[in-house]
Amino acid sequence: MSAPIPVALLGFSAFERSALASYFRIAEQRQPCYQHVLDIDEARFIVADADQSGVPDLLQTLGRVGDAVFIGAHSPEGAASWMMRPIDPNHVLRELDGLVTQRDNPGSGPLPLVAPPGVARAADAPASAPQRRADDGPPSGPMDLTVRRATAAALRAQREARLRPNPLRRALLVDDSELALHFLDRQLKRYGLETEWATTSAKALELLARVPFGFVFLDIDLGPRSDLDGLALCQHIKHQHVHPGGRAPLVVMVSAFAGPVDRVRSTLAGADAHLPKPLELPALDLWLRQQGLERGPEPSPPVAQAAGAVASGEPAPGPTPGRN
């Protein structure tokens, strides 16, 4: 069995990168097989997020466009391959297989999968603009330091953008269980989030059409009253709904379906994270903190509130009608 071929993942959310890297590991018994590496210079090929600002320009600067499989709405001229979202890991593997065949057997002809119209493959790139391969080593000459500084700055900007707090502190919770909604609502409000609920996909779409949300928490199985399951609804949200900050809401799948395959399916649908049911509060806390949200103090229990009111001579608080 030949050694795994190093592949870098450029752009994407942390969740998408993790899912793609996991899929490479799951498929390690096939030939050829691939291994995720962090350093672009160590990678023979690159899978790149075409929708993330700066990624295509960075690969152009590095001379690596012809080594890249782009995923997204657009692709730069000279790209080796291009596919649209949602991400299909089998499609990614087939495109990488085609690149391997083409590079190892130059006379083998075009790649087996045809790129979308208007996107040239590496073989069609002008001879005057050769692509730099990972095994050619780093670029030499006075541009070397400039390129490396530009690379570091671009990657730093990407990390900072992912950690930038979402400007909309409003969350849509979608689940066919009101008990689950109550529990999740209570947790999110401790982080200062305003919430809206939907128990069906139709209600969720209605709310999304008239209210901008920064976050959407989705169950996968939305029950028989919903026309869409959570995965299909996630795809719709990521493709159709952009808030005034210029990006789609962050989507978190919260589901009892929490195995490796389920996580990959969530990633392919465009989800930014996948949390298991019963909800693990440390995992929720970690993810929300990564979005720049801080948890407030624990709400006082009703008994303690009543005792405090009696001690101060004020009337004890009664139940609040309806849902907050």
CATH of the domain at 229: 3.40.50.2300
Domain presence at residue 301: no
265 versus 8: which is more confidently predicted? 8
From first CA to last CA, the distance across the chain in angstroms is: 60
Domain presence at residue 195: yes
Beta strands in 219-307 (DSSP E): 250-255, 273-276
- Please list the residues that pair with 40 across neighbouring strands: none
Same domain flag for 241 and 118: no
Helix, strand, coil percent content, the chain, rounded in steps of 5: 40, 15, 45
Residues above pLDDT 90, as percent of the chain: 29
Domain presence at residue 36: yes
Contacts 24+ apart (CB under 8 A), 54-58: 54/154, 54/157, 54/158, 55/10, 55/11, 55/154, 55/158, 57/154, 58/10, 58/150, 58/151, 58/154
Domain presence at residue 59: yes
Same domain flag for 149 and 188: no
Instruction: For the chain, give the mean pLDDT.
Output: 76
Domain presence at residue 299: no
Domain presence at residue 305: no
State the Cα–Cα distance between residues 219 and 194, nearest whole angstrom: 19
Domain presence at residue 323: no
- What pLDDT, on a 0 to 100 scale, did the predictor assign at position 40? 86
CA distances (Å), origin 195, targets 169, 186, 189, 207, 313: 9, 10, 8, 11, 34
Domain boundary among 163, 197, 220: 163
Same domain flag for 128 and 177: no
In this predicted structure, the answer to whether residue 195 has a pLDDT above a threshold of 80 is yes
In this predicted structure, the answer to whether residue 315 has a pLDDT above a threshold of 50 is no
Cis peptide before 139 (omega within 30 of 0): no
- What pLDDT, on a 0 to 100 scale, did the predictor assign at position 27? 82
Token couple for 84: 């649209």
Q: How far is CA 197 from the centre of its chain?
A: 23
> For 62-66, 86-90, 137-141, which range has the lowest pLDDT when averaged over its residues?
137-141
Same domain flag for 19 and 156: yes
Nearest C-alpha neighbor of 87 from the set 69, 60, 111, 64: 69
Characterise 33 by phi-psi region: left (phi > 0), alpha (psi -120 to 50), beta (else).
Answer: beta
Same domain flag for 106 and 206: no
In this predicted structure, the answer to whether residue 181 has a pLDDT above a threshold of 80 is yes
Q: How many CA atoms lie within 13 A of 250 on its CB side?
A: 26
321 versus 247: which is more confidently predicted? 247
In this predicted structure, the answer to whether residue 206 has a pLDDT above a threshold of 70 is yes
Domain presence at residue 245: yes
Domain range enclosing 71: 5-163
Same domain flag for 108 and 84: yes
Question: Looking at the 3D structure of the chain, how many domains does it have?
Answer: 2
Nearest C-alpha neighbor of 163 from the set 24, 312, 290, 53: 290
Same domain flag for 98 and 247: no
State the Cα–Cα distance between residues 55 and 48, nearest whole angstrom: 7
- At 24-68, the pLDDT tens digits run 888 888 889 999 988 888 999 999 998 887 888 889 888 899 999
- What pLDDT, on a 0 to 100 scale, did the predictor assign at position 30? 85
Same domain flag for 18 and 113: yes
pLDDT grade for 246, boundaries at 50, 70 and 90: low
Token couple for 14: 């942390």
Same domain flag for 194 and 267: yes
pLDDT grade for 140, boundaries at 50, 70 and 90: very low
State the Cα–Cα distance between residues 102 and 112, nearest whole angstrom: 10
In this predicted structure, the answer to whether residue 18 has a pLDDT above a threshold of 70 is yes
Q: In what order do the strands lie in the sheet with 194-198?
A: 194-198, 170-174, 215-218, 250-255, 273-276
Token couple for 228: 């869409």
Same domain flag for 138 and 187: no
Length of the chain in terms of residues written: 324
Same domain flag for 18 and 120: yes
Question: Stretch 3-32: mean pLDDT, rounded?
Answer: 86
Same domain flag for 150 and 224: no
Give the CATH number for residue 156.
Answer: 3.40.50
In this predicted structure, the answer to whether residue 302 has a pLDDT above a threshold of 50 is no
- What pLDDT, on a 0 to 100 scale, did the predictor assign at position 324? 39
State the Cα–Cα distance between residues 266 and 251, nearest whole angstrom: 10
